[in-house]
Amino acid sequence: MPLGTLDRTPPPFFKQGPSALSKLMVCSALALFLMVADTRFRITQPVRSAVAMVVFPAQWLAMRPVLAVRYVGEYFGGLHQARTTEEEARRKLILQAQRANQVEQLTIENAQLRKLLALRERLNTPSIAAEVLYDAADPYTRRVIIDKGLAQGIAPGSPVIDESGVLGQVTRVHPLISEVTLVTDREQAVPIINTRTGSRGIAYGDAGAHGTGGLELRYMAANADVQPGDLLTTSGVDGVYPPGIPVAKVEKVERRADSAFARIACNPQALVDGARHVMVLKPLLAQIPPRPQPEDAPPTPAKRGAKGPKP
C-alpha cells in the first residue's frame, strides 16, 4: 500500500477535547459560582439536609462503639477517682478528728493556765461574712472590692481573712461596698511572729514577686534564725490583727555580705488571686479597753451642759 494512502489521524480513543487549562478555568468558575450562590441563596441547603437525614442512621451506628468505649473508660476512671477521693477524705477526717481532740485539750489547758495566772480571757473577735465582687480598677495596686459596707457595720482598718489566712485589710468603706488592700500590696505591712523561733518582725507586700505577688520580711538581721518553710502568723501587737492567724511561709532566705539585713521572700497563705468568700473581723483595738490616763494628766473638762455630782 502506498504511504500516501495511510490515515495519519489518531483513532477515536486518543482524540482530545478542550485543553486542560480550559477545563480548569471552567471548573473553577463553576465552583466559584456555586460557592457564591450557596452563600447568598443557600441553594444547596435542601440537598445537605436530605443527605444528612439519609446518612444519620449510619453515623449513629458508627458512633455507638466509640461512645460505648468512652463511657466504659469514664466509668472506670470516675470509679477510681471516687475511691481515691474517698480515701483522701477519710484520711483528712481522721487527721481533723485528731487535731480537734488536741485543740480541745489545749483549749482546756489554756483556760486553766489563764485562771491560774489570773490573765484575762482571749478576745472573741466578731466577724462578718462577705463576698469578693471584683478587683479594683487601679493596675498599680493589689485591691479587691467586697459586697459589705457601712450599712453592714464594716469599719476602716478591719482585717480580712479567708480559710487559709490573712487576705488583707479594709482601707476604704462605702455605704454598700468596701475596698480591701491585699497583703501583697506594696503599701501593706503586717506584724508577724515566727512560730518556730518566736521572733517578731514585719512582713511587707511585694507586688512584683512571683508575678502574682508575695511578701518580704524586712529588717531582719543577716544572722537571724529564719529558714525556708517557717510559718509566719500575726503577732497581735498592732491592735488590728488578732494573734495566731497564718500570714505567709518563708520561701527563700538570701544573706549577703554587703548588707546587714537578710533578704527574705515569703509566699502568702491566703488565696490572694482567687478568694471568693472572706471574713471581715472587727479590729482588735476596738475590743481592748482604753489606755488609762496618767495620774499627773489634767482632768478631762466636763462637757457643756453636763450635770455635776450631787452634793
CATH of the domain at 229: 2.40.10.340
Do residues 226 and 174 lie in contact, with contact meaning Cβ atoms separated by under 8 Å?
Answer: no
pLDDT recorded at residue 10? 57
Confidence at 193, pLDDT banded by 50, 70, 90: very high
Q: Residue 7 has what pLDDT? A: 57
| Domain range for 245 | 127-286
Q: pLDDT higher for 135 or 296? A: 135
Q: How many domains does the chain have?
A: 2
Question: Where is average pLDDT lowest: 69-73, 120-124, 189-193, 264-268?
Answer: 120-124
**Residue 307's pLDDT band (boundaries 50, 70, 90)?**
very low
pLDDT in tens, 18-56: 778 888 999 999 888 888 888 888 777 888 788 888 888
Out of 122, 152, 173, a domain closes at 122
Is residue 146 domain-shared with residue 237, that is, in the same domain?
Answer: yes
pLDDT at 305 over 80: no
Cα 195 from Cα 212, distance rounded (Å):
25
Whether residue 7 lies inside any domain: the answer is: no
Residues 94 and 153 in one domain: no
pTM of the predicted model as reported, rounded to 2 decimal places:
0.56
**Exposure letters 22-57 (e unless 16+ CB within 10 A, then b):** eeeeeeeeeeeeeeeeeeeeeeeeeeeeeeeeeeee
* 166 to 93, 189, 247, 262: CA distances (angstroms): 25, 12, 5, 24
Same domain, 69 and 179: no
Residue 159 and residue 101 in one domain: no
**184 is a domain residue:** yes
> How confident is the model at residue 179, as a pLDDT?
93
Query: Do 160 and 210 share a domain, yes or no?
Result: yes
The domain boundary residue, chosen from 70, 98, 122: 122
Q: What integer is the mean pLDDT of 295-307?
A: 53
Final residue in a domain of this structure, among 63, 94, 122: 122
Distances in Å between the Cα of 272 and the Cα atoms of 16, 251, 281 are 77, 17, 17
- Least trusted range by pLDDT, from 39-48, 178-187, 279-288, 302-311: 302-311
Tell me: do 80 and 180 sit in the same domain: no
Q: Which of 9-13, 38-42, 96-100, 267-271 has the highest mean pLDDT?
A: 267-271
Mark whether 155 and 173 lie in a shared domain. yes
- Whether 247 is covered by a domain: the verdict is yes
Regarding whether 70 and 176 lie in a shared domain, the answer is no
293 versus 198: which is more confidently predicted? 198
Residue 10 lies in a domain: no
Mark whether 195 and 217 lie in a shared domain: yes
Checking if the pLDDT of 202 tops 90, the result is yes
Q: What percent of the chain has pLDDT over 90?
A: 26
Is there a single domain that holds both residue 146 and residue 108?
A: no
Same domain, 54 and 199: no
**Within a domain: residue 69?**
yes
The answer on pLDDT for 208 being more than 60 is: yes
Confidence of residue 92 (pLDDT cuts 50, 70, 90): confident
Q: Is residue 84 located within the same domain as residue 176?
A: no
Checking if the pLDDT of 222 tops 90, the result is no
Classify residue 297: in a domain, yes or no: no
Whether 308 maps to a domain, the answer reads: no
Average pLDDT, the chain: 82
Q: Is residue 14 domain-resident?
A: no
Is the pLDDT assigned to residue 309 strictly greater than 60? no
pLDDT, mean of residues 229-258:
89
pLDDT of 192 above 50: yes
> Is 178 in contact with 188 (CB distance < 8 Å)?
no
